[in-house]
Amino acid sequence: MSKEAVKTVSKSASGSIGTAWRCPVCGSGQQEPLVEKLGYLYVLCTGCGVASLDPLPDEALLEGMYEDFLALECDGVKMSDHFSPEYKEAYFREKDLDFKDLSFTPPASVSMLDVGCADGIFLRYMDERHSVEGEGIDVSLTMVEAARKEGFNCSNSKLEELTGPYGLVTLWDTIEHLPDPKKSLREVNRLLAETGDLIIQTPCIGTVSDAWGAEWIQYQPPYHTFLFTEEGLVRLLEESGFSVSGLVRFGAGVTESGNSLKPVFDSVVKSAGIGDTIVVWAKKTAVIYP
Ligand SMILES: [Zn+2]
């Protein structure tokens, strides 16, 4: 993505959104513009702490975007490189660390659904590391095909079409891509068994994103439709019938290739709890659907 297309929006520009703007999550009109990029504006709702794209791409556009997912390139990294053996090794290490940080151990023989499963890399992790055979769904037919070729139980189904119940639902780097995260979390609540577990990992707005401004790597319109502050995500989870059991934040927004100080930055932001990625473990504590 070219840097010329990026500019930070000054607070004085808030009037440019117009008075008709309403937060797609909570309906509040209180907003703060964050960044304008590629013809889209990220607007932070100061009512609920969730940022959304303005204009918000519709579901059909979002679904169509992921068919050529493997050919996409962002910040010089091809999406297809995400599935190299080196990536798999790093991915497994990161998931081991996430579970350790959250003090989360998957219940034995749990029925699991991975939402946004891509080529099934998390299903592979759960199978190889925890002997859990899960099920995955993804909007992209090409990714579902790749996962099925590897023998994983994946489909193009939507949350609304599933019946469950599952003991564990996971969304790794997925909720920020959804057209309506509030609706999706209600569906996840419906699909989970009583006291079932939910794990969500997503970019997190805060000190690090503020420091990077328009250069923050997670400002990726139109792919990243919603970006959450920690408070915003916790609040939405609580309103969707979940209670948070564990939470960790890590990452300083520094890419591997560009900076030898990455480990130092990462270590500092993680111990300060201000990382720009958040992983939350929550339990279903209330039934949202009748
Ligand atoms: Zn809101």
SS3 at position 192:
strand
Least confident of 7-21, 76-90, 231-245: 7-21
Residue % of the chain over a pLDDT of 70: 86
| Distance (Å) from CA 28 to ligand 1 centroid | 5
Model confidence at 10: pLDDT above 60:
no
The total of other beta-carbon atoms located within 10 Å of residue 94's CB is 16
What is the residue whose two structure tokens read 């990455």? 262
Question: What is the radius of gyration, based on Cα positions, of the chain?
Answer: 18
- 95 Cβ contact partners less than 8 Å away, ≥ 6 residues apart: 122, 125, 129
232 Cα to the center of ligand 1, angstroms: 8
Query: What is the CA(183)–ligand 1 centre distance, in A?
Result: 14
Neighbours of ion ligand 1 (CB under 5 A): 23, 25-26, 28, 45, 47-48
Q: How far is the CA of 146 from the centre of ligand 1 (A)?
A: 37
In terms of DSSP H, where are the helices of the chain? 59-65, 85-102, 121-130, 141-149, 181-191, 207-212, 230-239, 262-272
* Mean pLDDT for the stretch of residues 54-77: 74
Q: How far is the CA of 46 from the centre of ligand 1 (A)?
A: 7
pLDDT beyond 60 at 14: no
Helix, strand or coil, per DSSP, at residue 131: coil
Is 260 a residue whose pLDDT tops 70?
yes
Q: Are 146 and 119 in contact (CB under 8 A)?
A: yes
Please report the domains of the chain, with CATH numbers, ordered by start residue: 69-204+222-284 (3.40.50.150)
**Spatial CA neighbour of 229 closest among 48, 68, 99:** 48
What the block records as the tokens of 236 is: 């939405």
User: Cis before residue 222, ω within 30 degrees of 0?
Assistant: yes
Distance 175 CA to ligand 1 centre (A): 16
The predicted structure's pLDDT at residue 273: 81
Supply 187's token pair: 């569906």
Q: Whole-angstrom Cα distance, residue 198 to residue 167? A: 9
Distance from C-alpha of 59 to C-alpha of 80, rounded to nearest angstrom: 24
pLDDT tens figures, 209-239: 998 899 999 999 999 999 999 999 999 999 9
Phi–psi pair at 249, nearest 5 degrees: -125, 140
Q: Which of 127, 285, 55, 84 is nearest to 192 (CA)?
A: 285
Averaged pLDDT for residues 252-272 = 74
Q: How many whole angstroms from 40 Cα to the centroid of ligand 1?
A: 18
Instruction: Give the tens place of pLDDT for each residue, 147-173.
Output: 999 999 999 999 999 999 999 999 999
Classify strands 135-137 and 112-115 as parallel, antiparallel or unpaired. Answer: parallel
233 half-sphere exposure, CB direction, 13 A CA radius: 27
Ligand 1 midpoint to CA 30 (Å): 8
Residue 262 Cα distances to 192, 222, 253, 265, 274, angstroms: 38, 27, 9, 5, 15
Write down the pTM of the prediction.
0.89
